[in-house]
Each structure stands twice: as structure tokens, then as C-alpha cells.
């Protein structure tokens, strides 16, 4: 069986386990409800559906990625419980595909209530702007803005969960997220990747494909890492960097699981 | 499936867990005995490719566990039950076995399902197949553990302390299950419970302080205590002398001790040796040999 097929099988079982885990729902339902409050607040209905969808997705990033991170911090650690890690180490198909599948399956379940929320918000945008394509814009905003950020934080949290205790990882990922994405270094200078293409703040893709006005993108501490948002090119560059960062974290997690 | 272990040594931060172990076995069941800390679990982990040896070599069916290709080949024919195994509590027994089947490379869905059904029947869990593992008793979890080890029809099965936490009834049930595993397979059963080996394995190897001190037939262990096993009845206090106590039992008006010694105390009555006596005698000899070697080294 090829790696993709193994990953798909692992995704299926990990998703099943996550769906049956009360902790996932206890974590994600309140986060989605809070996201609904934030999301509704941003919908003015006065601009285009595309702009509304982008703004809505950016607003969801304030809360959703840290909810996802908190819920998934234990996902890779749990397969290292007594004996299970040892057992999985003896499996012929326990490669990188399994690590990706373990995280992907649980992430799919954790994002299900968020996706439902996006669908509702898309419908609301459609009603307010009169644009029947609004749900499609909302879905695209979810895929290009919300999803990369959630994948990135899920990988970060899972990696921290392997290196530290899961509880500590859950707490640590919150300041890390705000430091990486929202830290106002002009008020209090500390080194931060805020405003660079490295972090999944969603600003580059939101500007590129939804026409929002970035706040920090392009104003990072290192000019060469902070190109001015200029449409699809910088949007894709940001997504590529986020994907690469995620792959690095998953790679590190894989190495730690093998230890 | 021939397994050859040559000069195998494993050290952890200066502590030698296994010291130049040589062992060779083929099909059927072999019992690996030894006290706690003898190196049994380390040997199991080396045999399954989880650990890499400090020196020495292991080949399984001609595949060298020292290289990546060899380990990959061995993993395809391996079933393993670790000493302690926490199962995914949110999966049912059927789902867990199916998941393990996938990871073992059993691609065909129908073949996997057939195997899962057969194994659940073999471990008497067919009625609980849909129950979540989180609600299983210790014995049921152990049975799921052995079933997962058998998924993919492995030619080498390594089972580490399978009966350690089971109640007597579950232990007997598990032993009969283990006894049925041999046949075409090679089964390595690591345990410190003599009864497990006596009832399931025709061959035994005994480890003590990281070395193989016995490798032969299981009944052959008894020979170590023949002519050295005595019974001593006392009013209660433990008798003094140079011996190892193999057993102690209250008799109502005192205590009856079963001891292994070359210099029996007065009033000691010679009795015929058992397997347990043989094991105690072997451990006593191994300890004496180590002490002698340590004295010689000073």
C-alpha cells in the first residue's frame, strides 16, 4: 500500500477517535460559538461578499487556531502511551504518512464545527450582500486563510505536546500564537515574525484573493521577509512558507516519536 | 523461522543490560525466563527492532536487524505484544484490530475483516467486538493484545510478560491460548512465571544479569536441583544455613521450607526436584558464579 493510502486509512481511524473524544467537542464547540460572535460582528453587508468573506476569515483567526491547538496538543503524544508507541514502532507502515494522518484526521474533526460556522456565515453574507456566490467565497476564505493557520498551530501544538507535557503545551501555544501573529513590536520591541511571510496570520492570502487591507503584513522586522502584499504572488509565497513551516514541525514530531 | 543471536550486547548509559548473548532457535515456542532486570525485555525490544544493539548481531529468517532493509523485512513478518499495552480507548476491538491490520500492510479489506473475525473468535472476544476498548477488563485487553500480535499472520511472534497482571482464571485461559500459537510460527514468550513456560514451551532459555545461563529443554531445568532439594520443617522461624529457599508453606503448627543446597542442614529431608526447584538452583549457581568472577577480578 502506498503512503497516501496508509495516510488515508490513519486519517479515517484518527478522525473516528477524535469524533468520539469528548475533549475535542468540549474544546471546539465553545471556540466555534465565540468565533460566531466575532464573525457576525465583522459582517457589515456593505461591501462585496468576497471582502466580507475575507474579513470574516481573518476574524476567526483570533480564536479558532488556538482552540484547535489546545484540542490537538495530545494527538501525537497519545500514541506514545505505555506500550502503544513500542507496538507502532514494530509496524511496517508506521512512517511519516502515519504522523500526517494522525494529525490530519483529528484536525478534520476539530474543524468540522468551524466549517459549519463558516457555512452559516457564508449564508448570512449572501443574504446581506445579495450575492448568491457568497457561500463559495466563505468556503474559499476558510481554505486559504483559516485552514493553513489551523494546520500550522496544530503541528506546533502537537510538537510541543511531544516535547513538553500536554497541559503545558496547551497553555504555551496561546502566547506563542499571539506573539507570532499579533505582537505589536512597535509598542514593546521583542523579536517576532509578525508581519513576515513566515507566519499564518492570513493577511497575505486575504489581501491576495479577498481584497482585505492588511494591518501587519509587509511590516515585519526583517524587510526581506516582509514583502508588501501584492496579490497572488505574496499570497502563494505566504502559503508556501506556512506549509514548509508545518512540514518542518511535523518532521521534528516524527523524529521525536521515533525516539 | 530461524532466529540467530550472536554476541549481542546492549548497554544503557554504562549499564550493561545484555552481555554477549548467543541464542539460536527455530519454529515452535521458546520461553525466555529470568528474574526482573535480567534483560528479557531488552532482548525482546532488540528482537523486534525497537532498540539497536550496542554490539552483536540478530538475524531473523536470514534478515539482519542491523540494517534498515533487514528491519523492514522483519517487521513484515513480526507480531509483538509489549509488556504493558494501553489500547486506544475510543476504538472498538474490531476497529483496533482492523487499524493494526492496515498498519501491518494487510491491504485487502475483505481479507482483513476475515482475519479480524477469526482472531476475535480465537481470543473469545467475538461477542465484545463492537465494545469500546476503554470499557474492557485487564484480561480482555490482554486478549486484544495477543489478537493484534497475530494480525497479518506473522511468522515470528514476540510476547513479553503476557500474564503478569492477570487473575488466575484469566491466566489459565491465556496460557491455553498461548499454547495454541506455536505450530508453523516461532513464538518467543518472555516471562518470569515458570508455570507459563512449563505449560506452553518445550524449550526454555534463562537469562540472569544480562547473560544466558541456560538454553535447553524446559524439563531439563529440573536437573539443576536434582540431589540438592530438601524439605525442612520448623516451628516457625526460618532455618539458617547456606541455601536458597524455593518455597515456604504454613503447616498449621509451623512452617515447611523447600530449600536448594549442596550442604543440607541437620533434619533436612531430601525430596524430588521440580521445575521450580531447578530454576531456583540455576539462579543460585549463576549468582555464585558471578560472585566468584567478581572476587577473581579483585
User: What tens digit of pLDDT does each residue of A209-236 get?
Assistant: 999 999 999 999 999 999 999 999 999 9
Instruction: Give CA–CA dist B152/B148, Å, rounded.
Output: 9
Pairing, β B255-260 against β B229-234: antiparallel
CA atoms of B276 and B282, how far apart (whole Å): 10
Q: For residue B20, with 0-12 CB atoms within 10 Å meaning exposed, 13-18 middle and 19 or more buried, which class applies?
A: middle
Q: Is the CB of B85 less than 8 angstroms away from the CB of A87?
A: yes
CB neighbours (10 Å) of residue A76? Answer: 26
Closest by CA position to A102, among listed A242, A254, A256: A254
Closest-CA residue in chain A for B78?
A90
Answer whether A21 sits within 8 Å of B88, measured CB to CB.
no
C-alpha cell at A142: 476558510
State percent of chain B over pLDDT 90: 56
Q: Which residue of A has its CA nearest to B81?
A: A87
Q: Residue for cell digits 503545558?
A: A168
Q: How far is A73 from chain B (nearest CA, A)?
A: 17
Residue of B nearest to A18 (CA): B90
How sure is the predictor about A79, in pLDDT bands with cuts at 50, 70 and 90? confident
pLDDT for residue A95 is more than 80 = no
Choose among B38, B37, B42: nearest CA to B10.
B42
pLDDT of residue B84: 87
Residues of B in contact with A17 (CB under 8 A): 88, 90-91
Element (H, E) at B67: none
pLDDT band at A259 (very low <50, low <70, confident <90, very high): low
Higher pLDDT, residue A65 or A101: A65
Q: What pLDDT sits at residue A2?
A: 62
Backbone angles phi, psi at B240, to 5 degrees: -100, 150
Nearest Cβ partner for B107 among A1, A13, A21? A1
Task: Summarize pLDDT for B72-106 with one digit per residue, the tens.
Answer: 999 999 999 998 888 999 999 999 999 999 989 88
- Residues in A closer than 8 angstroms to B91, CB to CB, are 13, 16-17
Task: Tell me the CA distances in angstroms from A118 to A77, A121, A133, A162, A251, one per residue in order.
Answer: 30, 5, 14, 31, 31
Q: How far apart are CA A12 and CA A110, in angstroms?
A: 14
Name the interface residues of B facing A (CB cutoff 8 Å): 45, 48-50, 72, 75-76, 78, 80-88, 90-91, 95, 99-100, 102-105, 107, 132, 148
How far away is chain A from the Cα of B279, in angstroms, using its nearest Cα?
29
Q: How big is the CA angle at B177 (ends B174 and B180), to the nearest 5 degrees? A: 155
Backbone phi and psi for residue B192, each to the nearest 5 degrees, phi listed first: -110, 10
pLDDT in tens, B185-234: 899 999 888 888 888 898 999 999 999 999 999 999 999 999 999 999 88
Burial B82-114 (b: 16+ CB within 10 A, else e): bbebbbbbbbbbbbbbbbbbbbbebeeeeebee
Q: Tell me how far apart the alpha carbons of residues A81 and A152 are, in angstroms, rounded to a whole number.
A: 24
pTM over 0.90: no
Q: Please state the ipTM of this predicted complex.
A: 0.84
Nearest CA in chain B to A23: B90
pLDDT for position B298: 61
Report how far residue A75's alpha carbon sits from residue B54's, in angstroms, rounded to the nearest whole number.
Answer: 32
CA B281 – CA B213 distance, rounded (Å): 12
A71 close to A23: Cβ distance less than 8 angstroms: yes
- Other C-beta atoms closer than 10 Å to the C-beta of A124 total 20
Residue B1 near residue B154, CB atoms below 8 Å = no
**Beta-bridge partners for B24:** B4
Domain parsing of chain A, residue ranges = 2-182
As a whole number, the mean pLDDT across chain A is 92
Give me the residue from B49, B72, B86 closest to A84, CB to CB: B86
Nearest to B46 by CA among B15, B18, B27, B69: B18
Q: Give B128's DSSP letter.
A: G
Of all residues in chain A, the one with the smallest CA distance to B89 is A17
For residue B80, the chain A residues in CB contact (below 8 A) are 86-87, 90
Rg, chain B, Cα only: 22
Cβ atoms B257, B234 nearer than 8 A: yes
Confidence of residue A122 (pLDDT cuts 50, 70, 90): very high
CA B213 to chain centre: 15
How far is the alpha carbon of B160 from chain A, nearest alpha carbon, in Å? 11
pLDDT, residue A183, reads 93
**Residues A137-161 pLDDT 10s:** 999 999 999 999 999 999 999 999 9
Q: Which residues of A34-53 are buried (b: 16+ CB within 10 A; e: fewer)?
A: ebbebbeeebeeebebbbbb
* CA–CA gap between residue A244 and residue B5 (Å, rounded): 43
Strand order in the sheet with B78-81: B78-81, B156-160, B186-190, B28-33, B203-208, B211-217
Is the model more confident about A259 or about A15?
Answer: A15
Percentages helix, strand, coil for chain B, rounded to the nearest 5?
A: 35, 30, 35
Lowest mean pLDDT segment, chosen from A107-111, B33-37, B170-174 = B170-174
* Chain B residues with CB-CB distance to A88 below 8 A: 103
Residues of B in contact with A90 (CB under 8 A): 48-50, 75, 78, 80
Q: What is the pLDDT of residue A210?
A: 96
What distance in Å separates the CA atoms of residue B53 and residue B47, rounded to the nearest whole number? 10
What is the pLDDT at residue B175? 83
Q: Are A137 and A53 in contact (CB under 8 A)?
A: yes
**Which of B86, B95, B151 to mutate to test binding with chain A, by most A CBs within 10 Å of its CB?**
B86
| B273-284 average pLDDT score | 92
Preferred mutation among A86, A88, A258, A259 to probe B, highest tally of B CBs within 10 A: A86
- Residue to substitute from A5, A9, A87, interface B, most B β-carbons within 10 A: A87
- In the prediction, which pLDDT does A239 show? 97
pLDDT of residue B165: 72
What φ, ψ does residue B215 adopt, rounded to 5°?
A: -150, 105
Percent helix, percent strand, percent coil in chain A, to nearest 5? 70, 0, 30
Helix (H, G, I), strand (E, B) or coil at B11: strand
Closest CA to B50 of B3, B88, B10, B2: B10
A10 contacts B85? CB cut-off 8 A: no
For residue A10, is pLDDT > 60? Answer: yes
Which of B50, B75, B91 lies nearest to residue A86, judging by beta carbons? B50
**Partner-chain residue, chosen from B48, B95, B132, that has the shortest CB–CB distance to A90:** B48
| B131 pLDDT higher than 60 | yes
Instruction: Write out pLDDT tens, residues A26-69.
Output: 999 999 999 999 998 888 767 899 999 999 999 999 999 999 99
pLDDT at residue A84 in the model: 85
* Contacts with A109 from chain B: Cβ below 8 Å: none
Best residue in A4, A13, A90, A94 for a mutation probing chain B (most B CBs within 10 Å): A90
pLDDT at residue A85, rounded to an integer: 85
CB A153 within 8 A of CB A69: yes
Chain B residues in contact with A89 (beta carbon < 8 A) = 48-50
B100 vs A17: CB contact, 8 Å cut-off? no
Which among B78, B84, B103 is the nearest to A93, CB-wise?
B103
Amino acid at each position: 500500500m502506498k503512503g497516501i493510502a496508509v495516510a488515508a486509512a490513519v486519517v479515517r481511524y484518527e478522525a473516528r477517535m477524535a469524533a468520539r473524544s469528548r475533549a475535542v467537542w468540549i474544546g471546539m464547540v465553545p471556540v466555534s460559538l465565540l468565533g460566531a460572535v466575532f464573525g457576525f460582528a465583522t459582517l457589515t453587508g456593505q461591501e462585496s461578499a468576497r471582502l466580507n468573506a475575507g474579513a470574516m476569515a481573518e476574524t476567526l483567526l483570533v480564536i479558532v487556531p488556538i482552540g484547535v491547538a489546545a484540542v490537538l496538543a495530545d494527538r501525537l503524544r497519545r500514541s506514545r502511551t505505555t506500550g502503544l508507541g513500542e507496538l507502532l514502532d514494530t509496524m511496517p507502515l508506521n512512517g511519516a504518512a502515519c504522523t500526517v494522518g494522525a494529525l490530519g484526521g483529528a484536525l478534520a474533526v476539530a474543524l468540522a464545527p468551524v466549517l459549519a460556522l463558516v457555512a452559516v456565515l457564508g449564508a448570512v453574507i449572501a443574504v446581506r450582500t445579495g450575492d448568491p456566490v457568497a457561500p463559495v467565497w466563505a468556503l474559499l476564505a476558510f481554505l486559504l486563510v483559516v485552514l493553513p493557520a489551523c494546520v500550522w498551530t496544530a503541528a506546533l501544538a502537537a510538537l510541543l505536546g511531544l516535547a513538553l507535557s500536554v497541559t503545558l503545551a496547551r497553555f504555551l501555544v496561546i502566547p506563542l500564537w499571539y506573539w507570532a501573529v499579533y505582537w505589536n513590536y512597535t509598542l514593546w520591541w521583542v523579536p517576532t515574525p509578525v508581519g513576515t511571510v513566515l507566519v499564518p496570520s492570513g493577511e497575505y492570502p486575504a489581501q491576495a484573493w479577498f481584497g482585505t487591507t492588511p494591518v501587519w503584513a509587509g511590516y515585519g522586522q526583517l524587510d526581506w521577509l516582509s514583502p508588501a502584499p501584492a496579490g497572488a504572488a505574496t499570497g502563494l509565497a505566504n502559503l508556501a512558507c506556512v506549509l514548509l513551516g508545518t512540514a518542518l514541525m511535523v518532521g521534528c514530531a516524527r523524529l521525536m516519536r521515533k525516539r | 523461522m530461524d532466529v540467530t543471536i550472536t554476541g549481542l550486547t546492549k548497554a544503557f548509559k554504562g549499564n550493561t543490560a545484555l552481555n554477549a548473548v548467543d541464542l539460536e532457535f527455530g519454529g515452535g515456542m521458546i520461553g525466555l525466563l529470568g528474574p526482573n532486570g535480567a534483560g528479557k525485555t531488552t532482548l525482546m525490544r532488540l528482537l523486534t527492532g525497537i532498540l539497536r544493539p550496542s554490539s552483536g548481531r540478530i538475524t531473523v529468517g536470514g534478515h539482519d536487524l542491523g540494517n534498515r532493509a533487514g528491519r523492514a523485512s522483519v517487521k513484515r513478518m513480526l507480531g509483538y505484544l509489549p509488556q504493558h499495552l494501553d489500547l486506544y480507548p475510543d476504538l472498538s476491538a474490531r476497529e483496533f484490530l482492523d487499524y493494526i491490520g492496515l498498519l501491518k500492510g494487510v491491504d485487502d479489506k475483505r481479507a482483513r475483516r476475515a482475519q479480524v473475525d477469526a482472531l476475535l473468535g480465537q481470543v473469545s472476544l467475538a461477542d465484545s467486538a463492537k465494545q469500546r476498548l476503554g470499557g474492557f477488563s485487564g484480561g480482555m485487553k490482554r486478549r486484544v493484545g495477543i489478537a493484534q500480535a497475530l494480525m497479518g499472520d506473522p511468522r515470528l511472534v514476540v510476547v513479553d510478560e503476557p500474564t503478569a497482571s492477570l487473575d488466575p482464571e484469566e491466566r489459565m485461559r491465556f496460557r491455553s491460548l498461548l499454547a495454541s500459537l506455536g505450530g508453523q510460527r516461532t513464538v518467543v514468550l518472555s516471562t518470569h512465571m515458570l508455570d507459563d513456560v512449563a505449560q506452553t514451551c518445550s524449550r526454555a532459555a534463562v537469562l540472569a544479569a544480562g547473560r544466558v545461563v541456560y538454553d535447553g529443554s524446559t524439563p531439563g531445568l529440573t536437573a539443576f536441583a536434582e540431589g540438592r532439594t530438601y524439605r525442612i520443617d520448623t516451628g516457625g522461624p526460618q532455618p539458617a544455613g547456606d541455601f536458597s529457599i524455593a518455597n515456604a508453606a504454613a503447616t498449621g503448627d509451623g512452617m515447611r521450607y523447600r530449600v536448594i543446597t549442596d550442604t543440607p542442614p541437620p533434619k533436612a529431608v531430601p525430596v524430588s526436584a521440580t521445575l521450580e526447584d531447578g530454576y531456583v538452583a540455576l539462579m543460585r549457581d549463576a549468582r555464585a558464579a558471578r560472585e566468584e568472577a567478581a572476587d577473581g577480578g579483585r
